[in-house]
Amino acid sequence: MRTYIITHWRPIAGVIVLGGVALFLLFWRLGGLVPAYSTNEFNTYNQALSFHALLDNPTNMPYSLLVHAAAWLHPHSILVSRIVSASLAFLVLALFYWLIQHWHGHRIAWMASMLFATSTRFLHTARLGTAQILLFGLFGLIVYGVWLKGRSKLRFAVPVSLFVACLLVYIPGMIWFVVAGLIWQWRAIADKIWKTPVWITLPVVLPALALLFPLGWSIVKTPKLAMTFLGLPQHFPHLGDLWHNLYNIPLSLFYTHSTITSDLGTPALLTLDSFAIIMFIFGCYLYIRRLKMVRANFLIAIFGIGIALITLGTMTVNVLLPFIYVIIAAGVTYLLGQWMVVFPRNVFARSTGIVLLSFVIALCCIYNFRRYFVAWPTSPTTRTIFSRELS
């Protein structure tokens, strides 16, 4: 253990620093950055307090159950819903770091994670007491799938995957991603099921399937909820509305906050900063050159399904946010790799490139920090939206 720490002290130190920064960003002034709470937060909290309401409409049930448990520990405080969101976001950041270091190494993972952690849209989603944070659950499932790859001897792989999938179907529209994953890996899944002993499968599979009871019960009582869980609108939108939603996807990423995501209250600001946009373009170029890679095809499928649901108006662009930063990480890898190719043996030039890149990323992080923690709370629109107190 001591030898491992000495050998890997830099990555370990980086993880500790990143974890401290993430905790600060997610929990600092969590209840006092804005005057009060938004209507969405208020409604989400009230929905989570009643088990009867959850049975009638179990939409986003995993989040509601966590808020219900937190409210039991600390009653009469909407702040607990924000704490739940921030805690889940911290887990998402940990998974993001693991995935990027698995694909690109610790250095790129640290840089990309800092960019992701300080991005305004991520912070807004992570620090609000709404179920939007559950959209990052898709990313968690993908990371779990990557971790399982090559671990064929894990006996609990299929039961745990089933348990996670049963929770994800409570998120509107997420079932399409689950089905796509099942179709894509059906042979591997079938093989794992065949090799998993029954004494391991049944104790996990039966409770996992029992999780679907509230879903079936609510659909039987209110058939219209089936469309909600499928991520489909109750009434099919007009062609003009579809085009408007499709057009606003790149607009919400590369220009303004407030087109698709509600409660932002600060129009005409970049969702991605200029450096992140350039890295996103580089990352797309890198993946286009490597379309035969499994991860490239999987990202295409995720973006395809996500864009279709966003166009229908039933999902926000937040579901794609972690994957956008996965591509940004690939762009940073490409940029740094090109620099190293130009200076393959010049240690000073190589170090200078890393320092300059780190300096630019630090400037981006500071800019995003000020944009969220300084500019956004002082906006008149923000103060109007966040004005509800728990009576």
pLDDT single digits (tens) 176-223:
888 887 777 666 666 666 666 666 666 667 777 788 888 888 898 888
The whole-number pLDDT of residue 284 equals 94
The whole-number pLDDT of residue 185 equals 67
The whole-number pLDDT of residue 268 equals 46
Look at the chain and report how many structural domains it folds into: 1
Q: Does residue 33 belong to any structural domain of this protein?
A: yes
Task: Provide the mean pLDDT of the chain.
Answer: 84
The whole-number pLDDT of residue 208 equals 72
227 contacts 234 by C-beta, under 8 angstroms? yes
User: Phi then psi for 365, rounded to 5 degrees?
Assistant: -65, -40
Q: Does residue 264 belong to any structural domain of this protein?
A: yes
Range of the domain at 7: 2-385
The whole-number pLDDT of residue 249 equals 84
Q: Does residue 207 belong to any structural domain of this protein?
A: yes
The whole-number pLDDT of residue 183 equals 76
Q: Does residue 98 belong to any structural domain of this protein?
A: yes
336 contacts 353 by C-beta, under 8 angstroms? yes
- For residue 59, the Cα-to-chain-centroid distance in whole angstroms is 18
The whole-number pLDDT of residue 88 equals 96
For residues 121 and 126, what is the distance between their CA atoms, to the nearest angstrom?
A: 8
Which residues are CB-neighbours of 101 under 8 A, at least 6 positions away? 11, 108, 109
- The reported pTM is 0.90
The DSSP call for residue 388 is B
The tokens of 98 are what?
Answer: 């693991």
The whole-number pLDDT of residue 94 equals 94
Alpha helices in 265-346 (DSSP H): 274-289, 294-312, 321-342
Helix axes 321-342, 79-104, angle to 10 degrees: 30
The whole-number pLDDT of residue 154 equals 59
Q: Does residue 390 belong to any structural domain of this protein?
A: no
Q: Does residue 391 belong to any structural domain of this protein?
A: no
Mean pLDDT per 10-residue run, the chain (391 residues)? Answer: 55 83 95 88 88 84 92 87 96 95 92 94 92 91 78 64 84 88 70 66 72 87 88 83 85 59 48 89 92 86 91 87 95 91 82 91 93 87 81 56
Q: Does residue 263 belong to any structural domain of this protein?
A: yes
